[in-house]
Structure 1
Amino acid sequence: MLSLVLTADLQGVTELRPKDTEEDPYYYTFKVLCSSCREEHPNWVSFTRYEKHDIPGSRGEANFVWKCKLCGKTHSASISAGPNAYEATENNRSKGQKVVEFDCRGLEFTQFKPDGEWEAKGAETSTAFTGIDLTEGEWYDYDEKASEEVSIKDINWEVKNVK
């Protein structure tokens, strides 16, 4: 099991999460590594939690199925939990919070790219913030109800093994 863990400094917003609905799915984008031969795929790969693909030679399905070009083995991954909202707390800033968990078979995700839209709520006002772009590593806006700037800064993504 792997988890995508986020640490960030949220000012004036909370409940940061990818915009991920069946009608408008979020595409999780990663660099992927074969656990057998340790070859990393040269391109970024993307998949949603709503897609299901048959695993060759198996009766199972997974959100992401990949055949390593170097060793020829087929690997898979499925989202097993999440997406979870990232809450603005002091503890999350120091330890991070799991956004999504994956059940990976024969592969590892090594890097995450936050392509796609994210959403959050005003911490004091519950103002909805949509269309948040985290690709630049920070985001700024203004909460009219609170009459103050809101931001997401010091964003760090880690893919960690879950015990």
Structure 2
Amino acid sequence: MVNYLLGITGELENLTDLQPQGGCDDPDFTYCIKLKCGNCGELSEKESWVSLNETVSVPKSRGTANLVQKCKFCGRDGTVSMIGGRGRPLTQEHSEAGMYTPLMLFDCRGFEPVDFVFGGGWKVESVEGTKFDAVDLSGGEFAEYDEKGECPVMISNLRSRFEVVK
């Protein structure tokens, strides 16, 4: 059992508190991750989708996981379970410092997460208090104009990483 903490960072211009639409522990937010088999090292062809509100039974076990998947190369089963309560929004301060903010903790058995793909379903707030909902980051950036604050707002240079934690 190895736990991987997903951290995100990016450049926030006149914005703060980037997080999934329903908060960092949003059960409906879907994480799109690329997995590598812990047995043979094969990288999955497609991204895997995992969310807190979806659980499946683990074969030959009494437990459940948020994702059970078989390696297409060696045939071994692997599981991914999500552990909420560790995520925080990406603030402007962390963004300016180039720091990664923790988003979600994954308990992986048989797989190693190697990449996170940004998609839709995010929210962010301007430094003037304007809220932007249903933000789609699948294009790698977001740009709008804050009418209330009379300033442009932008998210760019998004990056993610998985860090092994105890």
TM-score, reference length from structure 1:
0.89
Aligned to 2:12: 10
Report if the CA contact (8 A) 2:34-2:46 is conserved. yes
Q: Does 1:65 align with 2:68?
A: yes
Aligned to 2:137: 134
* Structure 1 position 90, deviation (Å): 4.5
Deviations 1:39-64 (A, max 9, x none): 11111111211101100011111111
Instruction: Describe how 1:57-96 pairs up with structure 2 within 5 A.
Output: 57-81=60-84, 82-90=86-94, 93-96=97-100
Aligned to 1:29: 32
Change (3 A) 1:98 1:90: closer
- Structure 1: any 5+ residue segments left out of the alignment? none
Q: Does 1:110 align with 2:93?
A: no
- Structure 2: any 5+ residue segments left out of the alignment? none
RMSD value over aligned CA atoms? 1.7
The amino acid of 2:70's aligned partner reads K
The amino acid of 2:7's aligned partner reads V
More displaced 10-residue stretch of structure 1: 147-156 or 78-87: 78-87
Structure 1: 4+ residue segments shifted above 4 A: none
Report if the CA contact (8 A) 2:8-2:160 is conserved. yes
Aligned to 2:148: 145
Distance 2:13 2:91 in 1: 11
How many pairs are equivalent? 160
**What is the identity percentage for the equivalent residue pairs of Structure 1 and Structure 2?**
30
Report if the CA contact (8 A) 1:10-1:152 is conserved. yes
Change (3 A) 1:160 1:136: same
Distance 2:6 2:34 in 1: 13
Deviations 1:69-111 (A, max 9, x none): 2222211111113543111114764231111111111111111
Distance 2:150 2:139 in 1: 25
